[in-house]
Amino acid sequence: MTKLTRAAVFLDRDGVINYNRFDHVKSWSEFEFLPGTLQALRSLAQLPWPIVVVSNQAVIGRGLVSQTTIDDIHDRMLRIVEAVGGRIDAVLYCPHRHDEGCSCRKPSPGLLLRAAYELQLNLAMSYLIGDALTDILAANAVGCQPILVKTGRGQEQIRLSAVQGVNGFRVADDLGDAVHWIMQQVAEHQFATPELELIEGGSTLRGLKLGKQAHEQEMSDARG
């Protein structure tokens, strides 16, 4: 068994990468990058680690949006990120409704565990950036370092964290601020040692496939 030296940076989607909408992002026309996101992703891409989006998309399970539309939104998102020199290596999402009791809807850590298994990640070395306590709880459940951004639902969730006694997370203004802190941590701890595997070319495609496979698996789990 080889020692897993590869960390990842997990990103929640809504409220971190793009504007959160109270009526949900149901089409590409409703998807709007938050200010500074693309710049932040470009600098994050310098790390030799997978960048993995982990998102709750119960809009699918609720029949509000089709899986095809969600995949299309992600394809377009990835193309724009790549066009500015960034990358997202995998997009994993939970399509289930809250009442389905799946193991992948955050705060459950199922998406993180699946990514760790598929990409051979060391979760204890990894980071998760989210705007909700459910993100923080998922990260805490598997020993990832959580960062709560103030964008999206962040401000309200910080207040809620005191009430609910959720702690152990760092607060950042936005994705750019969170990425800046991670880059500093990496530099200080020299995590980016040569033994870390570099992500091979084509990982984005592989990642996308992973996202879809994972999703199909979940859908069949949900049906079965």
Binding residues vs Zn ion (CB under 5 A): 94, 96, 102, 104-105
104 versus 129: smaller Cβ distance to Zn ion: 104
Query: With binding defined as CB under 5 A, does residue 174 bind Mg ion?
Result: no
131 versus 177: smaller Cβ distance to Mg ion: 131
Kindly list the distances between the CA atom of residue 32 and the CA atoms of 16, 20, 100, 177, in Å, as whole numbers in the listed order: 11, 9, 29, 19
Phi and psi angles of residue 58, each rounded to the nearest 5 degrees, phi first? -65, -10
Q: Least distance to Zn ion from the beta carbon of 206, Å? A: 22
89: tokens are: 């290596």
Select the span of 63-71, 118-126, 131-139, 175-183 touching Mg ion (CB under 5 A).
Answer: 131-139
Instruction: Report the helix count and the strand count for the chain, using DSSP H and E.
Output: 8, 6
From its phi and psi, is residue 11 left (phi > 0), alpha (psi between -120 and 50) or beta? beta
Q: Is 131 a catalytic residue?
A: no
Give residues 11-30 in contact with Mg ion (rule: CB under 5 A).
12, 14-15
**Residue 17 CA from chain centroid, whole number:** 9
DSSP letters for 40-89: HHHHHTTSSS-EEEEEE-HHHHTTSS-HHHHHHHHHHHHHHHHHTT----
Select the span of 4-12, 69-77, 80-88, 164-172 touching Mg ion (CB under 5 A).
Answer: 4-12
Q: In what order do the strands lie in the sheet with 51-56?
A: 90-94, 51-56, 9-11, 127-130, 145-149, 170-172
Name which of Mg ion, Zn ion, none residue 106 binds, using a CB cut-off of 5 to 8 Å depending on partner kind.
none
123 versus 136: smaller Cβ distance to Mg ion: 136
Name which of Zn ion, Mg ion, none residue 96 binds, using a CB cut-off of 5 to 8 Å depending on partner kind.
Zn ion
Name which of Zn ion, Mg ion, none residue 177 binds, using a CB cut-off of 5 to 8 Å depending on partner kind.
none
Q: Least distance to Mg ion from the beta carbon of 20, Å? A: 6
Q: Is 12 a catalytic residue?
A: yes
**Active-site residue, from 12, 131, 174, 177:** 12
Q: Least distance to Zn ion from the beta carbon of 111, Å? A: 8
Q: How many CB atoms lie within 10 A of CB 127?
A: 24
Query: With binding defined as CB under 5 A, does residue 177 bind Mg ion?
Result: no
The alpha carbons of the chain give a radius of gyration, in whole angstroms, of: 16
Q: Which residues bind Mg ion (CB under 5 A)?
A: 12, 14-15, 131
Residues identified as active-site: 12, 14
